[in-house]
Amino acid sequence: MKLVTGNSNRALAEDVSSYLELPLTDCTVKRFADKEVFVEIHENVRGEDVFILQSTSFPANDNLMELLILTDALRRSSARRITAVIPYFGYARQDRKSASRTPISAKLVANLITEAGVNRVITLDLHAAQIQGFFDIPTDNLYGAPVMVRDIQENYTNGNVMIVSPDVGGVARARATAQRIGADLAIVDKRRPRAGVSEVMNIIGDVSGHACILVDDIVDSGGTLVNAAEALLKAGATEVSAYISHGVLSEGAAERIAASRLKELVISDSIMATDAVKAAKNIRRISIAPLMGEAIARTASEQSVSSLLD
């Protein structure tokens, strides 16, 4: 078995490597002067079961090309099987035609990954579960909920917790978390006048006197969380925190979260943290390396990964 990584999230790859007690495969992933991606594998991978750990986060196109070219290099080096481990699957929010004459980019990216020569995909908390069907190869969508729930149980012990979905679309995810910890559920009713902008309309459920925890899969601009926190506090919540799987946190988002009334934003390390994220005092990261490492180990040994979803 070999573990290979590009440049998208070297820190997570090293943590997974440590968990597996398997050194990262020696390879070069660099840019030519014109920014073309160049890859060279410095170890023999013939007949090996190879796992490429590479999120397709910002810069999404560069990291996607690294994944594709790494795959091609390994395939041409006679690797027996290539598994793409993609903790954060970029383009996942473009999973349907949102208007006339728009693409379904998530399907296109799935096609590119498959055609490059990947034999299997492991990912985490897809924005929409049906994206698994965009791939014509086996795809395991792991859930970060068990990791998040353990952290919630360690930090919220007074039992006066309410799980909140920041929009109607995320109710299933929030309800699953609420059931795991035996908490009640509330919903933020919002509308989105344009991409990246949200307006809170109503709070569905009585949050008065509760410590509210917003649960979602992606935080990008942070506007939804900030607005939801304000609305929940006005509705009588004692405090508001958020547990989000993927901290995209585009430019200005970390500062927006830091200046908000959110007590804490907890994100996984599926995306490499920027300096602004590291500097924000109310943003905390928890590791998914054991989860990803265990999924890799079980896939390599042909064991079931379904127990990791519980």
Residue stretches of the annotated binding site for Mg(2+): 127, 167
Is residue 108 a contact partner of residue 114, using CB atoms and an 8 Å limit?
no
Q: Would you say 120 and 240 are in contact if contact means Cβ atoms under 8 Å apart?
A: no
Please name the residue ranges forming H helices in the chain.
Answer: 10-20, 60-76, 105-116, 145-155, 171-181, 223-234, 253-258, 275-279, 289-300
What residues are designated binding site for ATP? 34-36, 93-94
Are the C-beta atoms of 262 and 222 separated by less than 8 Å? Answer: no
The three-class DSSP label of residue 76 is helix
Length of the chain as a residue count: 310
- The answer to whether the peptide bond before residue 59 is cis (omega within 30 degrees of 0) is yes
**Nearest in space to 240 (alpha carbons), one of 164, 181, 159:** 164
Of 190, 234, 278, 281, the catalytic one is: 190
Q: Report the distance separating Cα 164 and Cα 183, nearest Å.
A: 10
Binding residues: 34-36, 93-94, 127, 167, 192, 216, 220-224
Per-residue exposure over 133-165, b if at least 16 CB sit within 10 Å of its own CB, e if not: ebbeeebbebbbbebbbeebeeebeeeebbbbb
Tally of CB atoms within 10 A around 287: 17
The answer to whether the beta carbons of residues 265 and 244 sit under 8 Å apart is yes
Q: Let me know if 234 is a catalytic residue.
A: no
Token pair listed for 134: 């965009």
Known binding site for D-ribose 5-phosphate: residues? Answer: 192, 216, 220-224
Residues serving a catalytic function are: 190
